[in-house]
Amino acid sequence: MTATDNCSCKRMSATDNCSYKRMSATDNCPHIRMSATDNCSYKRMSATDNCPHIRMPATNNCSYIRMTATDKCPNKRLLSTDNYPHIRMSATDNYQHIRMSATDNYTHIRMSATDNYSHIRMSATDNCLYVRMTATYNCPNKHLLSTDNFPYIRMPYTDNCRTYVFKQLTTTRTYACQQAT
pLDDT band with cut points at 50, 70 and 90 for residue 129: very low
Answer yes or no: are the C-beta atoms of 90 and 115 closer than 8 Å: yes
pLDDT at site 134: 30
Total domain count, the chain: 2
Is residue 23 domain-shared with residue 87, that is, in the same domain?
A: yes
State mean pLDDT over 26-31. 34
Is residue 76 domain-shared with residue 142, that is, in the same domain?
A: no
pLDDT band with cut points at 50, 70 and 90 for residue 174: very low
Is residue 123 domain-shared with residue 174, that is, in the same domain?
A: no
Is residue 96 domain-shared with residue 174, that is, in the same domain?
A: no
Is residue 119 domain-shared with residue 168, that is, in the same domain?
A: no
Answer yes or no: are the C-beta atoms of 169 and 97 closer than 8 Å: no
Is residue 58 domain-shared with residue 118, that is, in the same domain?
A: yes
Q: Which amino acid is at 146?
A: S
Is residue 126 domain-shared with residue 151, that is, in the same domain?
A: no
C-alpha 40/C-alpha 55 separation (Å) is 9
pLDDT at site 98: 35
Is residue 106 domain-shared with residue 45, that is, in the same domain?
A: yes
| 31-86: pLDDT as tens digits | 333 333 333 333 433 333 333 333 333 333 233 333 333 333 333 333 222 223 33
pLDDT at site 149: 32
Is residue 52 domain-shared with residue 118, that is, in the same domain?
A: yes
The mean pLDDT value of the chain amounts to 33
Q: What percent of the chain has pLDDT over 90?
A: 0
Range of the domain at 100: 1-131
Question: Is the overall model pTM greater than 0.75, yes or no?
Answer: no
pLDDT band with cut points at 50, 70 and 90 for residue 176: very low
Our CA dihedral for 158, 85, 66, 124, rounded to 10 degrees, sits at: 10
Residue 145, phi then psi, degrees to nearest 5: -75, 160
State mean pLDDT over 9-27. 34
Is residue 151 domain-shared with residue 104, that is, in the same domain?
A: no
State mean pLDDT over 138-161. 32
pLDDT band with cut points at 50, 70 and 90 for residue 144: very low
Answer yes or no: are the C-beta atoms of 94 and 14 closer than 8 Å: yes
| 88-116: pLDDT as tens digits | 333 333 333 333 333 333 333 333 333 33
